[in-house]
A and B are shown apart, each in its own frame.
Chain A
Amino acid sequence: MTQISMTVNGKAVSADVEDRTLLVSFIREHLGLTGTHVGCETSQCGACTVHVDGQAMKSCSMLAVMAQGAEITTIEGLAPSADTLHPVQEAFREHHGLQCGFCTPGMIMSAADMIRRYEGKLDEKTIREQLEGNLCRCTGYHNIVKAIEAAAETMAQSGETQTASA
């Protein structure tokens, strides 16, 4: 067992975990943040994507102990406040970028990071390539791509692209 401490969605957390505990298990089981999903066991599907120190990371592909001292943002902590959605969340809803919702948290976390990395300058082709690490079986991706394009535009206009995953 190792004691770990990190900041998750702005709150300091610490716990004793088995060394083999994956970050995703720590988030889901220890912290009870079940919005981060597990859809595969080979780091292909991206349903477990969170932000670690501002960068999108598949939380099934790192150990909880590796996140010692890190700042983690999960889907539950992405919105700026309880009654305001993040622009990417809003765009997914507006453009019907989700159906069953299972891949959605990972898609949104990847998208927010993508918009930050490209400073909002995203075209359809780039978005499709950059979504390589996130699988969806319901939507056919088309509305997901539209949602990300729209969110990138909104965020670029409002100057939010620098803080997309803060």
Chain B
Amino acid sequence: MGIVEKFSTGASVRRLEDERFVTGQGQYTDDVNIDGQVYMVVVRSPFAHAIIKSINTDDVKDADGVLGVYTGADFVAAGGANKMPYAIVGQESAKPDRTILADGRVRFAGEPVAIIVAETQAQAEEASELIDVDYDILDAVTDIESAIAPDAPLVHDDAPGNIAFRWRGQGDDAQMEQILSEAETVVEMRLENNRVIVVAMEPRAAVAHMDGDKLTVITSTQGGWALKDRLSACLGLEKENVRVVTPDVGGGFGMKAFTYPEQYLAPFAAIQLGRPVKWLAGRGESMLSDNMGRDHISNAKLALDKDHRITGIDIHSYAGMGAYFSQFAQGIPTMLQEKILPGVYDIPASRFRVDGVFTNSTQIDAYRGAGRPEGIYLLERLMDVAAKHVGMDPIEFRSLNFIRPEQMPYKTAVGLTYDVGEFEKLMRAALVKADYDGLAKRQAASAAKGLRRDMGLCYYVECTLGAPHEDSTFTFNPTGQLEVTVGTQSNGQGHETVYAQVVHEQTGVPIEDIVIVQGDTDRIKNGGGTGGSRSLIAQAIAMRAAARALIEKAQDHAAEKLECAPEDLSFDDGAFRVSGTDISLDLKTLAGGLPQGTLDVEAGHDDYTSTFPNGCHIAEVEVDEETGVVTLENYVVVDDFGLLYNPLVVQGQVHGGIVQGLGQALMERTVYDETGQLLTGSFMDYTVPRADTISDIDFTHMGVKSLNNEMGIKGCGEAGTVGACAAVMNAIQRALDPLDVGFVDMPATPDRLWRQIRAAS
């Protein structure tokens, strides 16, 4: 329908997946129904901390339609390994078990205690009212400061003081103490990074069924290969007898990157009952049990010399873990956050220490950016605090301390090497876009209305991450289409379109004949999944290698068809060409004349290297000190993502990322009461951005090609979220500084700001 103007790199090709989405033909997990399917509900602990004295399921078993009810003991008795995996990163760490179903004690409200399977969803829900669990309620602790207070109730007996782990990154104590003692100025800041609920619009779900010895699990993931391996281990199945299929996914944002108890329990029930089993989380259930994000309290010091140049950064963070370690919970506030802590500044030394903290709350894990938004938020708030402390304009303070293009490649204090970056240039461009020169005039106009107006800036750098390996196979199918398998997993980013652009550019195969195949562990043997803004970089390298292999393999066949020597052929502009003639042969035509499978190729690589997307966010706000209401008046972002394949898709990622960041900064607040009940457990209570939260985002791209991959791309999926929080909070802080309100933490809700303004006056 006239959507493809120019189908090559750098073209804003309209998305190929959209036709199915706009017509209701998308297929998400809950849209899958299998004949004979039955329904699973999870009975969850209503208490944040309790001993389970007994579980009586007699009445449940007698209820209408009930086929099975299983506790942790039943799961183990049937041979299930009742244990969730997690990685240890801390040099010292508690090692508590996280079970799939509770084992005698529950530690957060929402922890799975039993499952019930019935013929219908309604019957399963009704039966769940009949389970009799005798709880002995214990004192709970739900926030970091209460958890580390003396005499706080212990979440785990083997984690004294509720310290879950202690980690220290690079940096030498003696050196840092010397830097701090010799500094002209040491600026200190305490900041909170508020806990957020991820809120993918599609709730988590799974449909599991057995066919003979073979288990198939259809479930919403960011890559199903880890689940496949773990299901095999957990349920005692051969790996080749486990297939994980990920259909369309309605948003992941890091939250769907890891396995969840229900992804083991639905397959378990399907095996026990010999029936297909469907499980779908309600929104309240999602809010209780989806991994949450952030939840840090940090104390930071910035050392400056007499010229206001930074000589060192020293940070200690407490990082909330929730009640258990989720799969990569330890890695995010530590290794991942540390990567970007020096930001874009020439900082010669750093020290970074993190203490993980258990609380009686839902576990924390990756949320869009995972560690890097937290790190940049901290650093960029600290930059403004320091500039104010020494009486410098925050723009000039940043400018003074930027790593300059001529210093590239630049090895940071935490050991990463930035390849390229033109920070000063991008910041100046953003300031022009944001009309910094006109700010005073706009402030005066706002003041005339009784409003405080100001501008805040954040210069972020991202470090893209993920599994180094990725594969791709190319197969011409019997209808002449080129099927391309990938090990990444679109959660809405538009991979089908952008990957097709890459393959088309390399092979000349028409766009309508390229089929991107994702999300099936039977068809794709390995996959690194999607996360860390890695997908296009990791997958494009593999697809380009496969394209080269295809052309190499096809050359002899093409020569035979064209009755020339292979060395007389060149491949350019999408076809083999006989030199000195106008004779050509494209790959699709060639494949059509060869036996099926002749041109099949496979290629993989271990070459994924981190890249460093960066850019400048500027937010302009009006604050009404009478009501605490913040209005976002303007938002400008200038990004450097290297080379772009599809600017339209990139712009969409930037918009969405920024609005998620603004949500955390302005409205998203996760509240537990003192007994550990989640008070923000629905959309009635937990605020996410709506269409009227912002008016416009002015996005400009000024790419500097990355040297860390053959394409020159940098990745853009998380960048918006990394930069947004600090920009808007710096703006609010500057607007309120004349009122001496002290440091303003997120979320800057009207209620919280109003109280802070009142307390100051």
Interface residues of A (CB under 8 A from B): 18, 20, 32-42, 44-45, 47, 74-76, 78-79, 85, 89-90, 92-94, 96, 98-105, 108, 124-125, 127-129, 131-132, 134-145
Contact = CB atoms under 8 A, between A and B. Distances in A.
Which of under 10, 10 to 19, 20 to 34, or 35 or more describes the interface residues of B? 35 or more
Given A45-B201, A140-B694, 16 more contacts: A35-B25, A38-B30, A41-B682, A85-B1, A94-B3, A96-B648, A99-B652, A99-B656, A101-B21, A127-B691, A128-B692, A131-B690, A138-B652, A139-B659, A140-B658, A142-B696
A115 B27 CA distance: 28
Interface string B644-662: 0000110110011111100
11 contacts: A34-B31, A37-B250, A41-B283, A78-B23, A94-B3, A96-B15, A100-B251, A134-B691, A137-B660, A140-B720, A142-B655
A41 B121 CA distance: 15
B689 interface: yes
Interface in B672-713: 682-684, 688-697
Contact of A139 (B18, B24, B284, B652): B652
B494 interface: yes
B26 interface: yes
A103 B253 CA distance: 15
A101 B493 CA distance: 10
B203 interface: yes
Pairs A-B, 5 closest by C-beta atoms: A35-B24, A100-B492, A102-B250, A101-B21, A140-B659
Contacts of B203: 39
Scoring A40, A89, A99, A145 by chain B CB atoms within 10 A of each residue's CB, the highest score goes to A99
A98 B200 CA distance: 14
Nearest to A132: B690
Interface in B365-397: none
B684 A42 contact: yes
Given A38-B30, A39-B203, A89-B23, A143 B688 contact: no
A157 B160 CA distance: 70
B496 to A, nearest CB: 12
Contacts of B649: 96
A137 B19 contact: no
B491 interface: yes
A33 B283 CA distance: 21
Contacts of B31: 34
Contacts of B26: 35, 101-102, 104
Nearest to B690: A132
B132 interface: no
B23 A98 contact: no
A44 to B, nearest CB: 4
A157 to B, nearest CB: 18
A164 B682 CA distance: 32
Interface string B490-518: 01111000000000000000000000000
Scoring A38, A76, A98, A124 by chain B CB atoms within 10 A of each residue's CB, the highest score goes to A98
A137 B691 contact: no
B451 to A, nearest CB: 18
Contacts of A138: 201, 251, 492, 652, 656
Contacts of B695: 124, 128
Interface in B318-352: none
Given A135-B683, A140-B656, A34 B691 contact: no
A104 B492 CA distance: 11
Nearest to A102: B250
A139 B283 CA distance: 20
Contacts of B282: 41
B250 A41 contact: no
Nearest to A20: B122
Given A128-B691, A140-B659, A143-B655, A135 B24 contact: no
B248 interface: yes
Contacts of A18: 122
B517 to A, nearest CB: 18
A76 to B, nearest CB: 5
Contacts of B253: 137
Interface in B113-140: 122
Contact of B3 (A20, A35, A93): A93
B22 A40 contact: no
B206 to A, nearest CB: 16
Nearest to A129: B692
Contact of B691 (A40, A44, A85, A145): A145
B28 interface: yes
A76 B24 contact: yes
Contacts of B14: 93-94, 96
A117 B260 CA distance: 44
Contacts of B208: none
Contacts of B491: 100
Contacts of A78: 23
Contacts of A89: 22-23
B656 A74 contact: no
B207 interface: no
A52 to B, nearest CB: 17
Scoring B22, B202, B492, B660 by chain A CB atoms within 10 A of each residue's CB, the highest score goes to B22
Contacts of B250: 37, 39, 100-103
B664 to A, nearest CB: 12
B692 A132 contact: yes
A140 B18 contact: no
B554 interface: no
